[in-house]
């Protein structure tokens, strides 16, 4: 058994108490939700929080509301299992339910939360290791070790002066494609930002959260009748595994299959979810023919540049990005034909 290091724990019961706890704890605070990501990192010595603020007693963060006109609001502490099994989600946003269902295993989804999924740490073959393994490597930008020689090196991309650890959330690419935003709160007040703005391209510091800020809610716009979405994920084992590549697609299709408002976001290839805008540009205002689908998928494979720091090779993940984009587009075309 791996022992837990010592830390202070607060269990606030309201959002006001969360704000007070995070403000009081100042810099050394970490938010604890389901703990399926954070506690693993703490046990491996990758995170050393002085103070954990657990959100599990805050009922305001477990709210969930849906209306066909206004869309969906998901409290940050809703679990992935609740999302995967919600009747409203299965009816109006089945691909979000599918993305939630693709995360980890049933036991983990019972604890894991939406906020934790969006804020989970980036991962890297050279970082998610024991301290002795990392010591032998002399540290890295993300996994700095006291007085180690290689603390300023990225082993996955030598020569790059920043950390390239991979973005891991399965929900984020699809939610960004759907135009989701997040409500944030800290001692200075509340603000709302687009979900894509939550992320920055630095694997060692990939969240643009301000000091003490928590996600309180995720807001997903209402869907239109001609809007189609798809989620695709490649992983080693279907039973339990992080993505090697994942794809979120959102497109509006006219009755004659003309693509409007296309958004395709690819995850697990870099430190941020990547919107492949050139693919969107190829599809925009064009008829979704098989030939166009092939061209768009080829473009996706040529523009994504996976970092060699998760399970499979770069070449394979690039090829599979093409396959996943192609399958997602074929799927929405088939569903649109049935719906019209
Ligand atoms: C074996 C295994 C397999 C996994 N497979 C997958 C997978 O396939 N796909 C996938 O996406 N994930 C996977 N995960 C990662 C993780 O389980 C999920 O991402 C989960 O949703 C994290 O949620 P949590 O509530 O447990 O987060 P926690 O561990 O509690 O927190 C994760 C991070 O988010 C921060 N945080 C949590 N809530 C908030 C909030 N409201 N506001 C601000 N910051 C917050 C925490 O401070 C922490 O840094 C896997 C984990 C394990 C152990």
30-73 pLDDT per residue, tens: 999 999 999 999 998 899 899 999 999 999 999 999 998 999 99
Q: What is the pLDDT of residue 340?
A: 67
Query: For residue 76, how far is its CA from the centre of ligand 1 (angstroms)?
Result: 11
Question: Using 50, 70 and 90 to split pLDDT, how confident is the model at 167?
Answer: very high
Written as one string, the DSSP assignment of 21-50 is: HHHHHGGGEEEESS-TTHHHHHHTTS---S
The answer, yes or no, to whether residue 26 has pLDDT greater than 80, is no
Cα–Cα nearest to 7, from 38, 46, 52, 63: 52
Q: What is the pLDDT of residue 132?
A: 87
The answer, yes or no, to whether residue 24 has pLDDT greater than 90, is no
- Residue range 157-178: average pLDDT? 95
- 170 in ligand 1 pocket by Cβ < 6 Å? yes
- 103 in ligand 1 pocket by Cβ < 6 Å? yes
Give the separation between CA 19 and CA 2, rounded to whole angstroms: 31
Q: What is the pLDDT of residue 149?
A: 86
Give the separation between CA 16 and CA 30, rounded to whole angstroms: 17
Can you say whether the dihedral through the CA atoms of 13, 17, 21, 23 is positive or negative?
positive
Burial class of 338 by CB neighbour count within 10 A (0 to 12, 13 to 18, 19+): exposed
CB atoms within 10 A of CB 104: 18
Is the pTM value of this prediction over 0.85? yes
Cα–Cα nearest to 174, from 269, 275, 105: 275
Give the separation between CA 239 and CA 296, rounded to whole angstroms: 30
Question: Using 50, 70 and 90 to split pLDDT, how confident is the model at 27?
Answer: low
What is the atom index within ligand 1 of the atom nearest the CA of 36?
26
**CATH number of the domain located at residue range(s) 227-339 in this protein:** 3.30.390.50
Query: For residue 35, how far is its CA from the centre of ligand 1 (angstroms)?
Result: 7
Q: What is the pLDDT of residue 144?
A: 87
The answer, yes or no, to whether residue 1 has pLDDT greater than 90, is no
Sequence-separated (6 or more) residues with CB below 8 Å from residue 196:
176, 273, 275
- Residue range 227-255: average pLDDT? 94
Q: Whose CA is nearest to atom 46 of ligand 1?
A: 31
Query: For residue 166, how far is its CA from the centre of ligand 1 (angstroms)?
Result: 14
For 117-131, the pLDDT digits (tens) are 999 999 999 999 988
Give the separation between CA 297 and CA 291, rounded to whole angstroms: 10
Give the chain's mean pLDDT.
Answer: 94
- 202 in ligand 1 pocket by Cβ < 6 Å? no
- Residue range 77-105: average pLDDT? 95
Nearest-10 Cα torsion for 203, 208, 211, 217: -120
Instruction: Please choose from 31, 54, 231, 238 the residue to mutate so as to test ligand 1's pocket, defined by most ligand atoms within 8 A of CB.
Output: 31
Query: For residue 112, how far is its CA from the centre of ligand 1 (angstroms)?
Result: 6
Q: Where are the domains of the chain?
A: 1-55, 227-339
Class of CATH domain 1-55: alpha beta
CA terminus-to-terminus distance, the chain: 57
Sequence-separated (6 or more) residues with CB below 8 Å from residue 240:
104, 105, 108
The structure tokens 């034909």 sit at: 337
- Residue range 15-33: average pLDDT? 88
For 260-298, the pLDDT digits (tens) are 999 999 999 999 999 999 999 999 999 999 999 999 999
- 49 in ligand 1 pocket by Cβ < 6 Å? no
- Residue range 164-184: average pLDDT? 98
In the chain, % of residues over pLDDT 90: 83
Contact by Cβ (8 Å): 94, 223: no
- Residue range 101-111: average pLDDT? 97
Sequence-separated (6 or more) residues with CB below 8 Å from residue 339:
225
Q: What is the pLDDT of residue 286?
A: 96
Give the separation between CA 249 and CA 247, rounded to whole angstroms: 6
Fold match, 1-55 / 227-339: no
Give the separation between CA 289 and CA 333, rounded to whole angstroms: 9
Percentages (nearest 5) of helix, strand, coil residues in the chain: 35, 20, 40
């Amino acid at each position: 058994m791996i022992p837990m290091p010592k830390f202070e724990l607060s269990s606030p019961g309201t959002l006001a108490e969360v704000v007070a706890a995070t403000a009081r704890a100042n810099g050394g605070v970490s938010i604890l939700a389901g703990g399926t990501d954070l506690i693993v990192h703490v046990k491996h010595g990758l995170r050393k929080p002085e103070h954990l603020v657990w959100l599990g007693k805050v009922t305001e963060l477990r709210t969930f509301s849906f209306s066909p006109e206004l869309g969906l609001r998901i409290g940050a502490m809703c679990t992935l299992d609740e999302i995967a099994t919600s009747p409203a989600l299965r009816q109006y946003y089945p691909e979000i339910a599918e993305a939630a269902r693709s995360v980890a295993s049933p036991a983990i989804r019972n604890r894991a939360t939406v906020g934790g999924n969006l804020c989970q740490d980036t991962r890297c073959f050279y970082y998610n290791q024991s301290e002795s393994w990392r010591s032998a490597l002399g540290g890295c930008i993300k996994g700095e070790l006291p007085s180690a020689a290689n603390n300023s090196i990225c082993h996955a991309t030598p020569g790059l002066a920043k950390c390239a650890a991979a973005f891991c959330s399965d929900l984020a690419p699809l939610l960004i494609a759907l135009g989701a935003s997040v409500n944030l709160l800290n001692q200075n007040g509340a603000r709302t930002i687009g979900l894509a703005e939550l992320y920055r391209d630095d694997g060692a510091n990939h969240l643009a959260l301000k000091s003490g800020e928590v996600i309180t809610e995720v807001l997903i716009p209402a869907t239109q009748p001609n809007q189609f979405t798809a989620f695709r994920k490649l992983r080693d084992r279907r039973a339990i595994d992080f993505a090697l590549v994942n794809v979120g697609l959102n497109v509006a299709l006219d009755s004659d299959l003309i693509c409007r408002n296309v958004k395709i976001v690819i995850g697990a290839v870099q430190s941020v979810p990547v919107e492949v805008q050139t693919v969107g540009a190829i599809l925009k205002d064009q008829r979704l023919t098989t030939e166009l689908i092939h061209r768009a998928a080829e473009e996706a494979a040529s523009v994504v540049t996976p970092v060699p720091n998760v399970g499979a090779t770069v070449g394979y993940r690039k090829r599979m990005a093409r396959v996943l984009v192609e399958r997602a587009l074929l799927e929405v075309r088939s569903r649109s034909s049935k719906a019209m």
